[in-house]
Amino acid sequence: MNPAPVTRQRLVFAAALAVTIPLGLASRRFAASLPPFVAEYAGDTLWALAMYLAVSIAAPRLGIRARAVIALATSCLVELSQLYHAPWIDDIRATTLGALLLGAGFLWSDLVCYAVGVAIGVVGERCLQRATRGTR
């Protein structure tokens, strides 16, 4: 099997991730300047999109559906882990990186944001596939 398409695919996912992460961080940093709905939900939605892109970089040969399920399941498990509070994990969550990766408190609305974020990744990938199908 030719590794070039997989390498190219990983580069596209990495470029998308390189845009998504700063957007997610900016949605938190500049929340006061954003419309309330965007400020409330953009960060979690972009977090799940980043998860989809990271899974796609790690396992580009998996089908879109499988990568979406893995990304959504991982996102939901991280959210559910926020129901668990032990000193050691709360200490991790108290750090900037820990808060960004693990969150702090469980919210049902985050699960919806995760589904939307992964769906954006899936739809974006399918649109890109259709757009590039005739150019190969």
User: Please, which residues have CB within 8 angstroms of residue 39's CB and are 6 or more apart in sequence?
Assistant: 27, 31, 32
Q: List the domain boundaries for the chain.
A: 4-72+108-135
CA-wise closest residue to 111 among 80, 84, 85, 90: 80
Rounded distance, CA 86 to CA 63, Å? 37
**Unique residue bearing structure tokens 């408190």:** 105
Q: Which residues of the chain have pLDDT under 70?
A: 1-4, 134-136
Say what the pLDDT of residue 132 is.
83
Say what the pLDDT of residue 29 is.
94
Give pLDDT tens digits for 12-30.
999 999 999 999 999 999 9
**Unique residue bearing structure tokens 């609305």:** 109
Look up the pTM and report it: 0.90
